[in-house]
Structure 1
Amino acid sequence: MMTNLFSSFDPSTNVFSMNWLSMFLPWMFIPFVYWFTPSRFNMVWMKLTKVLNNEIKTLTPNKESKGMSLFIISIFIMIMINNFMGLFPYIFTSTSHMAITLSMALPLWLSFMIFGWIKKTMNMFAHLVPQGTPPILMPFMVCIETISNIIRPGTLAVRLSANMIAGHLLMTLLGSVGPLIPSPMVNILIIVQILLLILEMSVSIIQAYVFMILTTLYSSEVN
């Protein structure tokens, strides 16, 4: 029995907790036939990679960031699979915890900032003052742009974890009232839960895509 409404999203503090093994479970579901080419799984994977690569190319036309697409696509696949794994019963959603989302967002942002300020200092200073800003507003714009730049890893992490928690929490609340409602209402509850499950599947893809696009945009500003 849950002692707290958010207890399903609170993994044990023990290092050897079984909850965190959910991050390694997807490797058990990847069939071995994927590694034989050409196979259907390989064709779907390559098609997805090609579509995502074209999306990243439109945002980062600079040739210096040519090898960045493979890294960002890997992050997208990792987040999407972990989001999907959280939809299975009794499997902890690792991407709903700030320890995972912040550990992905913070190193990425920090690496972009270190590279930008060391290699392209004048370009980073130029981003602090948008083009066409009146001279009297320039000090305020520098403060605003600096604050918005600093909170970027936090917004990336919170956006992903909050969206994962919200849908799962709603499904948990609706599922807990199942034994308390009359029998004719159970059918309606099941239909609502199925619709929510479909919505959560789309949210799992969308949030991974948003994380990938925002990371690409942050890297394109540096380049």
Structure 2
Amino acid sequence: MMTNLFSSFDPSTNFLLPMNWLSTLLGLMFIPSMYWLIPSRWNYIWIMITTTLHNEFKTLIGNKSKGSTLIFISLFSIILFNNFLGLFPYIFTSSSHLIMTLTLALPLWMSFMIYGWTNHTTHMLAHLVPQGTPAILMPFMVCIETISNVIRPGTLAVRLAANMIAGHLLMTLLGNTGPMLSLVLINILIITQILLLMLESAVAIIQSYVFAVLSTLYSSESS
């Protein structure tokens, strides 16, 4: 039962090549060409969002790293597009699979670690022992901080994938009960599904923002 339930989120298109992962780039197709040529309301809204994110990320990273916010704004944008696309019927939700979220999180974390340990070794070692730690607890704190540092890409990936698949799974379970309900209960089910859809829209924005902010914080610690 559980295998069949979760398999509804697996890739299913095998026409010559698996085409499911092309949905990752569908967000660019939905943006009309007039967006790039003539300023519109959507253009101004997106510029306002990216400017706000730029100012916030610049505060977290610091002024010494110029242009680095572009990476995290792009990361926010691609996750946001994929999260929203998953809310449409019959569109593959790539952000609910660990293979994509780990692909985003692991190279970022690895590059931060390589850069930090190569150029700021003393600074990275100082992060392993919090200030004011008693001498007897220092070996334990080093082990705890090392483990918490190593599992960061996993927590980033699992947090995004789990939050995206949880709401979709709940909506799928509720939707499958529709044919067996009476007319009154179907009306209640439709209202519940609409509320869940609104909640999932908020989760899509929040999770992309959390992923980008945590990546920014990990970057600031290694610089």
With structure 2 as the length reference, what TM-score do the two structures score? 0.95
After TM superposition, the structure 1 stretch with the greater mean CA deviation from structure 2, 34-43 or 98-107, is 34-43
Q: What is the alpha-carbon root mean square deviation over aligned residues?
A: 1.6
Per-residue CA deviations over 1:129-186 (Å, capped at 9, x if unaligned) read 0111111100000000000000000000000000000000000000000001111110
Q: Which amino acid aligns with 1:60?
A: I
For the 8 Å contact 2:83–2:204, the answer to whether it is kept is yes
Whether 1:183 aligns to 2:183 is: yes
Supply the distance in 2 between the matched residues of 1:12 and 1:142 (Cα, whole angstroms): 45
1:86-105 equivalences in 2 (<5 Å): 86-105=86-105
Per-residue CA deviations over 1:70-113 (Å, capped at 9, x if unaligned) read: 11000000000000000000111000001100000000000000
Task: Tell me the equivalent position of 1:60.
Answer: 61
Query: Do 2:83 and 2:93's aligned partners in 1 also have CA atoms closer than 8 Å?
Result: yes
Kept after mapping to 2: 8 A contact 1:167/1:200 = yes
The one-letter code of the counterpart of 1:145 is E
Quote how far apart the aligned CAs of 1:18 are: 2.5
Tell me the CA shift for residue 13 of structure 1. 9.2
Q: Could you tell me how far apart the structure 1 residues matched to 2:147 and 2:141 are? A: 10
**Secondary structure in structure 2 of the residue aligned to 1:114:** helix
Match of 2:167 in 1: 167
Runs of 4+ in structure 1 deviating by more than 6 angstroms, as ranges, are none
Partner of 1:24: 25
Percent sequence identity is 68
Is the Cα–Cα contact under 8 Å of residues 34 and 40 in structure 1 kept in the other structure? no
Distance 2:143 2:23 in 1: 41
- Tell me what 1:43 maps to: 44
**Counterpart amino acid of 1:109?**
W
Matched, 1:10 2:4: no
Question: What SS does the aligned partner of 1:203 have?
Answer: helix
TM-score after normalising by structure 1: 0.95
Distance 1:100 1:31 in 2: 26
The one-letter code of the counterpart of 2:97 is H
Give 5+ residue unaligned stretches, structure 2. none
Separation (CA, whole Å) in 1 of partners of 2:63 and 2:144: 27
Listed one character per residue, the Cα deviations across residues 31-64 of structure 1 (whole Å, up to 9, x for unaligned) are 011012432222112101111011112212241x
Give yes or no for the alignment of 1:152 onto 2:152: yes
Q: Which residue of 2 aligns with 1:112?
A: 112
Matched letter for residue 61 of structure 1: G
Structure 1 unpaired stretches of 5+: none
Which SS does the other structure have where 2:130 is aligned? coil
- Give the C-alpha shift of residue 23 in structure 1: 1.1
